[in-house]
Structure 1
C-alpha cells in the first residue's frame, strides 16, 4: 500500500522569538525611557555643536584647518595639498554641507567606539574568560545586517542622529576590540617581564610597554572602525540622519543614478582622506618613528 511521504512539521520558534523581542523593547521604552532620553541628549550635546561648527565655518577655513592637520600628521606638503584638493572637489560637487554633517556623525561615532572598544579590548587581553564571553557577541555584531540595528535603535531613541550614531558604533566597534586584544596579546613576554623586574606597576606596563608595542594593531583596528563608520552613513540616512548618505538615498528612491554617483564619489573621497590621515598619524606615533 502506497502512502504519501510527508516531511515532519517544523516547530514554530519564529513567532515566540518575534513576540518576545517586541515585548522586551516595549518594556525598555516604558521603564527606562528617561534614561534613553538622557543618553540621547548627551550625544546630541557633543554632535550638534561639532556639526554646527563645521557647517557654519567658511569652507576655506575648514579646508585650511584640515590641510594643516594633514601636514602636522604627515609632515608632507603634498599630502596637505591632496587633502585640500579632495575637500575642494567635494565642494565642487555641491555636497559640502552634507559632507560636514557626515564628518561630524563619523567623528562622534568613532570617538564613542574608541571610548568603549579600547578598554574592552584591554580587558579581553587580560582575561581569557572575558574574551570567550565577548567573542560570540562581537561575531553577532559584525554578522547581523546593519539594517537590523536600526529597528531597535529607532524605537528606543526615535528617528534622527542618535540612533544612527549608536547603530554605527555597534557595527563598527568590533574590529577595534578584536585588534586591540590581539595586539596586546602579541606583545613579547620578555618585554613585560622586564618592566616587572624594574618595579613598574600593571598600569605603567600597559601604558609604557604594551600599548606602544601594540600600537600598529590598535591603529589598524581604529582604521577599520572609521571606514566602517563611514560606510554606515548611507544606511543611517534611512532613519533621518542627514548627510551624504541622504544624497545616495535620494538617488535610489528617484531612480537617479547621477545623484547616487555624486554621493558615492563624496563618500570615496572622505574615506581616502580619513584613511590616509589615520595612517599618517599612526606613523608618527609608531615607536622608533
Structure 2
C-alpha cells in the first residue's frame, strides 16, 4: 500500500500553496510541520496517482437533483459495483471515495456529470480536518467510513470504465449551433429569464446544457426550461412561444441522446464482463 503524501493548500480553498507540488508532496512529519508553520490555517491536499485515486462527488450547480451522487448510482447499477468498502470522506458539498489501483490511471475532470476522477497527476482536498468556505459558512471535512491507512483496490470494472469511458464535458455555449452565449447560473435564470435579443441563443444553450446534465430525465429538462421561459421577456409584439423552446429541447434530445445511450450500452457491456 502506498503511503499518502500531502501538500499545503491556501486557507479555505483547494489551491496548492506551493509550486511544484507534485514533486514536493510529502509524508514526512517534519516537512508537514514546517509547512504548518509557514502556512498558518492552511488546508491540506492529498497527492493522487502512484496507486491512489479519489472519486470526487459534488452537488454544486445541480439544484434539481443529487449531482454526482446520481452519477455514482447510475454507474454502480450499470456495472453491478459494490463500493461499500471504500473509505468515504464527507465534504462541503458532496463526498470523496478513496480507492487504490495498479498501473496508471488518468485523472478526468469531469468523468461523469458532477463526478470527477482524481488519479495520476492530480491532488484532492484531504479529509478529515480540512475546512472549506461556502455559501453557508465553513464546513469541516470528516471521515465517515473506513480508514485512509487501509485503502482497498477498486473493482476492475470501475477502473476499466474510468480508463475507457468519458461523458463529454458540459458546455455553457451553444452546442447546437448559432452564436455561443455565456449562460448565467440556472437559479438566476429561473428568477430573471432571458431578455430580448438573448432568447433564441440563450434557450438553445440552456436546453443543451440541461439535456447533457439530466438525460434521460427529459421531464426535468422541460420543467426547468419552462420555469425560465415564464420569466423571459415575451412582449405581444415580439413573442417567443413555449413551442419554440420545446422544439429546441427535442433537437437537443435527438442529438445528445444517442451519444449518451452509446456510452451507457458500452458501460453495460463492461458490467457483463467484469466477473
| TM-score exceeds 0.5 | no
If asked which structure has higher relative contact order (CA below 8 Å, sep 6+), I would say: 1
The TM-score bracket by the shorter chain reads: under 0.3
Larger Rg: 1
Specify which structure has the higher proportion of strand.
2
Specify which structure has the higher proportion of helix.
1
TM-score normalised to structure 2 length: 0.26
